[in-house]
Amino acid sequence: MIRLYITRHGQTEWNTQKRFQGHKDSELTPLGKRQAFWLSERLKDLKIQKVYSSPIKRANRTAGILIGDRGIEIENIDGLKEMNFGLWEGMNEEQLKREYPIQFHNFWNSPHKYTPFGGETYDQVKERVAEELENIIKRHYGKDENILIVVHGVVLKLLLSHIEGTKLEQLWDPPYIHPASLSIVEYDENHGFNVVEKADISHYKEEGGQDWK
């Protein structure tokens, strides 16, 4: 059986400023590093055979904290990058509400109606991340292995949506994907996917460990 341990990067500076990051980047905050460390402690006794990460620095840095001194190579996969938000990247919530009220509403409340301004649609992102998931399963098919995957909020939501076969309209239904939360998915060649855990943060060790989207 293949077990996928999927997480989102730790909190970043732009998260605290409520800015959309997408393919742009900002540094992990001290809290973001602690969030990753808390998860690393949770996973410290888990034998991990492979680590896949988005190549964007905030995800890659989180992956490095998670594996610590285990010496496991991190393989970066372009298809696991966060959604490209186009003109929205670097803009904060209040700007978007003011300048793009309809599409900002659609982004969070009616994702099937969301139209980007120079970026990707949800369907486009879902297609590429689903393809990468299938590629990972093919690589490890028939093996009993634990795989760590470090991605982004939208990407993780879309991966779970693909696995569970839910409609795009339901994408932002709970649970919220907190930074360095843990989702666990099993894959068995006879029974397919089974979601064991979604966005769990029981490893958080201080109140206020969550952050904005």
**109 marked ligand binding residue:** no
The Cα–Cα gap between 88 and 23 comes to: 11
**7 marked ligand binding residue:** no
**212 marked ligand binding residue:** no
**206 marked ligand binding residue:** no
**14 marked ligand binding residue:** yes
Q: How many helices (H) and strands (E) does the chain have?
A: 7, 6
- Positions marked active-site: 9, 82
Q: Quote the tokens at residue 210.
A: 């969550």
Residues 47/72, Cβ–Cβ less than 8 Å: no
Residues 131/120, Cβ–Cβ less than 8 Å: no
**13 marked ligand binding residue:** yes
Residues 203/183, Cβ–Cβ less than 8 Å: no
The Cα–Cα gap between 11 and 14 comes to: 8
The Cα–Cα gap between 212 and 15 comes to: 6
**12 marked ligand binding residue:** yes
The Cα–Cα gap between 56 and 24 comes to: 8
Q: Helices 153-164 and 122-140, interaxial angle, to 10°?
A: 70
**58 marked ligand binding residue:** yes
Q: What SS3 class is residue 74?
A: strand
Binding site as annotated, residues: 8-15, 58
Known binding-site residue numbers for substrate:
8-15, 58
